Amino acid sequence: MINKRKIGKTDIEVSELGFGCAPLGGWPVAVSDQDAYLSLKTAWSKGIRYFDTAPLYGSGMSEKRLGNFLQKQRREDFVISTKVGRLIVDTKKSKAAEKFIGSPKDKDSEFNFTYDGAMQSFEDSLSRIGLDKIDILYLHDPDNHPDHFEEAKKGALKALVKLRDEGVVKAIGCGMNQNEMLIEFAKEGCFDVFLLAGRYTLIDQTSLDQLIPICEKNKISLVLGGVFNSGILIDPSPNTYFDYSKLDKDWAKNVSESLVRIPRSHESANYWLDKAYNLKNACDKFNISLKHAAIQFPYSNEIVSSCLLGMTSKGHVEENFNLYDNKIKKEFWNYLKENALVNSKFPI
């Protein structure tokens, strides 16, 4: 059984375990139509009722695959979110198809945070998904260019508010990998939810310093992505990734150049690997897996409404559900806190 939690001040309730649909767009590996449908069907059978997608994921392929499944379900039984900030355009050579394996080679995405661009993106998403309303609509990564933050505030954000006022969207949010810009967005006073990737996890709780307090004050819920921090919380080694970059000597430079976020001066590949190794040793002491702890870590914080996990097969869904469902005893979390392996503000 999967519990549900509310989104902000809305009447939306999402399943604590959500389905992140980036893999349905062919990231990081190709997924067949059959496997995509079977993954969604298995997730549904386990009680997952929140599904998050975006135009970026496979240049619309993820939205179409999700829509094909959800159109067969009762509309009141699920919650769906998608995003604006990129428009899918025709192209002769798709760069997106190199990242999203199996996606259309004649389609690509272009950043567009204007009012008209957001409205067009929303209409295109409705068409691909096959619905007339979306529950949650996010701004998608308005931090990939210095101008996008202001452009989004002046354009796309106004479009989101209008769509919510019209009732075709129930809640509005923003999704990104950093705390700092979300703190600024929280001050706008209009958001219901933030989709935060990587900053409230078993290894990185930096959102507890400023972002979570301001979200609590403004009744903004968090939906979490990246609970494994790109793989370091599954099997840490110098060959794994953190914030989408390999943990080698160039990690900090590569993260900065990727615009995922700007690492702080104390951060390095060794810094994060040491933290991961210490967490894994603690898990070994309690005979649980690092992945198990990573999945369950966020739920003690009431501000977290759901964790989105990307799943590419029936077996993958079943494994993640079992790790969610098999609750870890309180003694483990106390041990982490007593040994300074997590932020002292972490609620148990």
Neighbours of 252 (CB within 10 A): 18
The bridge status of strand 193-197 relative to strand 221-225 is parallel
* Residue 71 three-state SS: coil
Return all residues near 334 (Cβ < 8 A) that are at least 6 apart: 348
**Active site annotation includes 246:** no
Compute the average pLDDT of residues 92-117: 94
Round to whole Å and give the CA distance between 286 and 294. Answer: 14
**Active site annotation includes 72:** no
b/e sequence 142-170, b meaning 16+ C-beta within 10 Å: bbeeeebbebbbebbbbbbeebbeeebbb
Alpha carbons within 13 A on the beta-carbon side of 247: 24
Round to whole Å and give the CA distance between 253 and 281. Answer: 29
Q: What is the pLDDT of residue 308?
A: 98
**Active site annotation includes 200:** no
Q: Are 86 and 72 in contact (CB under 8 A)?
A: no
Confidence of residue 228 (pLDDT cuts 50, 70, 90): very high
Residue 259, pLDDT > 90, answer no
The fold of the 4-232+291-333 domain, in CATH, is: TIM Barrel (3.20.20)
Q: What is the pLDDT of residue 146?
A: 84
Residue 273, pLDDT > 90, answer yes
Q: What is the pLDDT of residue 1?
A: 83
Residue 144, pLDDT > 90, answer no
Of 57, 200, 299, 324, the active-site residue reads 57
Count, residues in the chain: 348
More confident residue, 145 or 228: 228
Return all residues near 281 (Cβ < 8 A) that are at least 6 apart: none
Q: Are 66 and 24 in contact (CB under 8 A)?
A: yes
Of 46, 50, 64, 83, the active-site residue reads 83
Compute the average pLDDT of residues 304-333: 97
Q: What is the pLDDT of residue 260?
A: 87
Compute the average pLDDT of residues 273-289: 98
Portion of the chain with pLDDT greater than 70, in percent: 100
State the pTM of this model.
0.96
Of 50, 52, 135, 299, the active-site residue reads 52
Neighbours of 138 (CB within 10 A): 25
Least confident of 115-124, 142-151, 178-187: 142-151
Token duo for residue 240: 């794994």
Compute the mean pLDDT over every residue in the chain, rounded to the nearest whole number: 96
Domain boundaries, the chain: 4-232+291-333
Q: What is the pLDDT of residue 103?
A: 95
Compute the average pLDDT of residues 308-324: 96
Compute the average pLDDT of residues 80-105: 94
